[in-house]
Amino acid sequence: MPRGGIDPPVVAIGAFLDGALPPRTPNSPGSSQWTTVPAFPNVNIDNTIVISSNPADDRMYVASQNGLVVAFENRSDVSTTETFLDLRDRVAVVSEGGLLGLVFHPEFGDSGSPHRKSFFVYYSSHCPLDASRDVIDLNACDDSYPRDYTSGFFNTYLRLSRFEVFDGGVTGDPSTEQVLFNVRLYNGGHRGGGMGFRDNGHLYLAIGDQVGYETAQDIVNNFEGGTLRIAVNVIDDGDGTWTCPAGTHQPRRIFDTADEISGQYYCIPDDNPWLDPAAGVFEEYCAIGLRNPFRLGIDPINGRVWVGDVGDSTREEVNVIGCGNNYGWPFREGSIELSEPPSYLGVLTDPVADFTRDEARSIIGGYVYRGSKFPELYGFYLVGDFITDRIWAIALDENTMTATKSYLTDFTVGNLVTWGQDNHGEVFMGAIYGTSLIYTLDRIGDPPPDAPPLLSDTGAFASVAAATPSAFWVPYALNQPFWSDGASKSRFIALPSDGARDTAAEQIAFSTTGDWTLPIGTVLMKHFELPLDEADPSITTRLETRFMVLGDDGDWYGLTYRWRADQLEADLLTTDETAVYTIQSFNGGTSDQTWYFPSRLD
């Protein structure tokens, strides 16, 4: 590629290569303007706390804190609801309690599955088990339990149960409750409650530390401060026993007291991280070190488990859950180390993103957006905050497992407490206090246009076939260029100008100590070619041409155009790609070199 200098006269070029490139990051959540709007304007729900869907129909299932679950058609003009499940006779509306989780079995509605009628509910209850410890004793419910923040145990419980719908119907039957575990609820908060399925019938449940702090590092004495992973595709033998699916085993350590039970009608995956044939630990744990994971969402595309974990005094955090990981609470909070002990269980794992207390003070985890309505949100994890009302889109870097966050908008209704996702990947939000609507995101105006699909459409080259840059480019080089797998690189800058750089908007503001300031619409171009013969450096193949563009919002964005095999055109990439090239060696042999083409996020 020819290289010039800075002596020739200035060639006029408008911002963004005369408007050929978008004025801000294409397909980026932060480049659009957002708001929240009612998703179902004619449906009001009291004290919304759970929004769910099932794989068998297109209805929405919304739970109130008091244990009433209603269902309605997933249409914006819907105006009627019907009761799906009523557990108000057994749900205790304690501090940070109530009906906390509802999830349908992934085979729900499948006529050939033994689990076709099953769904699961996690809730707080003031009704103990009966003498058999298999059934809820609705005649022994203690209505005197305190509703406000209280320390200690006060005859209430956290319970995970399986329910079924009535035969031939679509309504849940409270009498089918089958208790999987029933443990004591105590203190004033941190119950968790997010649930989801993956791995062929493995149920994930996030549970808080119940303000016990150190319990988040204890897998011997409690179910607290972590994420449980259990296999629920069991076959009920009908006599109080059950058969485990392949790759799982019966729970070995269980709660077995007068009022607490566990290990019923589920099994332990054989690849859970902390297994003990001697029954010394609760093998249900997948991950530990969480404070108040609220809530949990599983990406329907790749199965990745996301949790928003409410912080204490320094950070809010978002975690990608991996079995065997320890997320550090109470000796870590977000990226802040408080007092790391000399030893701990598992792999100490940083959050993928954390928030200062100015940004968020009670994070509410959402879902990875997989809908079609907003392409610029696709693949981003959405999260909000109960206190500051802010909503963000989070992009995960797969290589570093760290994330960047883009502020979207405020949940102006306030008191955001839960997210939901329908079968189409669209997301919804609910507020906890009073009677309110279910909300969803909406874009204000049109999104930024995408970049041209072909390099020839950008005007960057006077001749694409010859790879001759247009006359407006000014070439430059780095004082210390870095190695790029043997590729040769040419660099150019296009400063917006009318033909004479006589205004500040057409010039670079130099600084000896800080960043240089460039005009909005400035474009940097870097062209890569790979030598294919070590004995003849002139034999090369064009790999890619990259642009970095300074948008009108002050943010830079990147584009990659990958050259075709015929070297006559290059195509815009929207995701990362790799290709293998054969290099002729000095000794007459050959070697293969893999080239990585970065995605827009990269």
Predicted confidence (pLDDT) per residue in 288-299, tens digit = 999 999 999 999
C-alpha to C-alpha distances, 584 to 145, 447, 543, 578, nearest whole angstrom: 79, 46, 17, 20
CA–CA dist 212, 58 (Å, integer):
40
Residue 432 CA neighbour count, 13 Å, CB half: 19
Share of the chain above pLDDT 70, in %: 98
Predicted pLDDT of residue 5: 45
Q: Mean pLDDT over residues 591-598, rounded? A: 93
Predicted pLDDT of residue 2: 42
Residue 546 sits at the vertex; the CA angle it makes with 596 and 480, to the nearest 5 degrees, is 85
Predicted pLDDT of residue 250: 98
CA–CA dist 496, 13 (Å, integer):
5
Residues 23/551, Cβ–Cβ less than 8 Å: yes
Q: What does the mean pLDDT of the chain come to?
A: 94
At 4, the pLDDT band (50, 70, 90 cuts) reads very low
Which residues are CB-neighbours of 139 under 8 A, at least 6 positions away? Answer: none
Residue recorded with tokens 């801000």: 24
Predicted pLDDT of residue 486: 83
Residue 274 CA neighbour count, 13 Å, CB half: 28
Query: Which residue, among 600, 594, 592, 544, has the nearest Cα to 576 in the 3D structure?
Result: 600
Asked if the peptide bond before residue 330 counts as cis, ω within 30 degrees of 0, the response is yes
Predicted pLDDT of residue 201: 87
Q: Residue 571 pLDDT more than 70? A: yes
Query: Which residue, among 400, 498, 481, has the nearest Cα to 11 in the 3D structure?
Result: 498
Predicted pLDDT of residue 262: 98
Asked whether the whole model's pTM tops 0.85, one would answer yes
Share of the chain above pLDDT 90, in %: 86
Q: Mean pLDDT over residues 367-396, rounded? A: 96
Predicted pLDDT of residue 599: 83
Q: Mean pLDDT over residues 152-176, rounded? A: 95
CA-based torsion, 512, 515, 519, 525: positive or negative? positive
Q: Residue 263 pLDDT more than 50? A: yes
CA–CA dist 383, 416 (Å, integer):
10
Q: Mean pLDDT over residues 499-520, rounded? A: 90
Predicted pLDDT of residue 7: 57
pLDDT in tens, 169-189: 889 999 999 999 999 999 999
Predicted pLDDT of residue 168: 80
pLDDT in tens, 320-351: 999 999 999 999 999 999 999 999 999 999 99
Predicted pLDDT of residue 438: 97
CA–CA dist 471, 473 (Å, integer):
6
CA–CA dist 71, 170 (Å, integer):
10
Predicted pLDDT of residue 1: 44
CA–CA dist 92, 67 (Å, integer):
8
At 440, the pLDDT band (50, 70, 90 cuts) reads very high
Residues 92/180, Cβ–Cβ less than 8 Å: no
Q: How far apart are the first and last CA of the chain?
A: 25
CA–CA dist 451, 570 (Å, integer):
13
Strand ranges of the sheet holding 439-444, from the earlier edge strand across to the other edge: 33-38, 439-444, 427-431, 416-421
Residues 291/309, Cβ–Cβ less than 8 Å: yes
- Identify the DSSP state of 503: S
CA–CA dist 227, 382 (Å, integer):
20
At 481, the pLDDT band (50, 70, 90 cuts) reads confident
Predicted pLDDT of residue 497: 92
Predicted pLDDT of residue 570: 97
